[in-house]
Structure 1
Amino acid sequence: MNTVPDLAAMPTTITATDPANAAAAPRIKLLPHGFAIDHPDPQIGERLMANALGVADREAMHGILRQLVKASASGERPDEVNLSFMISMVKSIRPRDSVEAMLVAQMVSVHVMAMRCAHHLAQAHDLAQHDSAARALGRLARTFPAQIEALNRYRSQGEPAITVQNVSVGEGGKAIVGNVTQHARVILSDKNAGSAAQPAPKAVRARRRRDAADAEREAQA
């Protein structure tokens, strides 16, 4: 059970706070039977924490916090220093919505667990402990970059790919043969701008030779 003063009197939706108050997320104070946001003004403290976690309401904020508290545990008890580090890392990645908040929380948790496995590996006393810690560390180390890739894909989903086909290039120009695909924010020139492409010099010479040959045959006839 989480203990936060006067939560019932506060609105469910948390609006973004002003930049002056957004400098740093408040710390979490661990209590015997829960945790509390350590801030003299509970409402401002919730706003700051919600901004740091990238969520918009109290339920989502407390849900993410509860999960981070459990993931920070060293042994059987949550670690306040470890928890502060995890919240700081979440804020530095700047999740922009609830989906990113959940994914980023997983990322920092996987990192903490990977470092824990690395410690167990360094302290292994026999081959069984060494192999167990090495396998766990390997799985977590592979998971972390996959999570980064997933976050990048999610963040770029609003920027659809643009495919350019049938590019005509005039004399002296350079072209890439095939389809060219790039993400949004690519600036394309007006497709109607500019004059039509001119024939290549070799094609012009060939046509002139054909015209001359035709004229010579007509003269002989």
Structure 2
Amino acid sequence: MNTAPDLTVPAAIAANDQTKAVPRIKLLSHGFSIDHPDPELGEQLMANALGAADRESMDGILRQLVRASVTGGSPDEVNVSFMISMVNSIRPRDSVEAMLVAQMVSVHVMAMRCAHHLANADDLAQHDSAARALGRLARTFPAQIEALNRYRSHGEPAITVQNVSVGDGGKAIVGNVTQHANVIVSDKNPASAARHAPKASGSRRKHDSADAKREAQA
């Protein structure tokens, strides 16, 4: 027996999503507005998405993102929505992160714009100009990621173990390890390398000296 679908369920889901989803920006002839049925809730959701501490900082970051979204001389709603979505996905936690993440998203948009110009260059001059700009932006973006990670870790340097080698006797040598002819040398502990060096040359000299003494006595 077929039952009629409950039309109230999608409406309830839509209402629930509307109270959590990041609202879109509606561009106007004199500026922009947050497109949400509840203006106060819309501002709160947008501030949370951008990591803004108050209404003034939220408005400032939004204005900067709108200006960075310009395509063909005018702001682009699709670009603005994309940029806000990317900022929200990175989850800036304070004002410093909010500014840095906004820069990261803007640099990405400009890099892709340069990539478009590069693909559609009509002559060598346009090609070289777009290629240089794209190269600078492409190098800036990973530097921004590193700066964000360093800020979030409170400037604590990462500890990297380059190599671990276990020599005879089960002693681990940590550092840049080079192995030649069964000799393990570590630049972190030269004394350890000296203890593990073979003594074949010294034994051979003692053996040769004993043979010479016996020949002299004979």
2:25 — aligned with what? 28
Normalised TM-score (structure 2): 0.64
Aligned residue number for residue 153 of structure 2: 156
* Preserved CA contact (<8 Å) 2:100 2:144: yes
User: In the alignment, which residue of structure 2 is the partner of 1:50?
Assistant: 47
Asked if the contact 2:150/2:156 (under 8 Å) is kept, the reply is no
Matches within 5 A, 1:36-185: 36-157=33-154
Q: Which gives a bigger RCO, structure 1 or 2 (Cα 8 Å, sep 6+)? A: 1
Q: Quote the RMSD (CA, aligned, Å).
A: 2.2
Q: Could you tell me whether the CA contact under 8 Å between 1:21 and 1:48 is conserved in 2?
A: no
Alpha-carbon contact 2:87-2:102 (below 8 Å) kept? yes
How many residues are aligned here? 151
Aligned-pair identity (%): 84
Instruction: Kindly name which structure, 1 or 2, has the bigger radius of gyration based on alpha carbons.
Output: 2
CA displacement, residues 46-101 of structure 1 (integer Å, 9 cap, x when unaligned): 11001000112000000000000000000211000010000000000000001000
> Aligned equivalents of 1:112 and 1:160: distance in 2?
30
Contact 1:39 1:45 in 2 (8 A): yes
CA distance in 1, matches of 2:142, 2:157: 23
Tell me what 2:12 maps to: none
Cα distance in 1, alignment partners of residues 139 and 23 from structure 2: 32
1:104 alignment partner, SS class: helix
Displacement of 1:175: 5.1
Task: List gaps (5 residues or longer) in structure 2.
Answer: 1-15, 160-168, 176-218
Runs of 4+ in 1 over 4 A off after TM superposition: 19-22, 158-162, 172-178
Q: Aligned partners of 2:142, 2:19: CA distance in 1, in Å?
A: 29
SS at match of 2:121: coil
- Name the one with the larger helix percent: 2
Q: Residues 177, 145 of structure 1: CA spacing in aligned structure 2 closer, same or farther, 3 A cutoff?
A: closer
Q: TM-score, normalised by structure 1?
A: 0.63
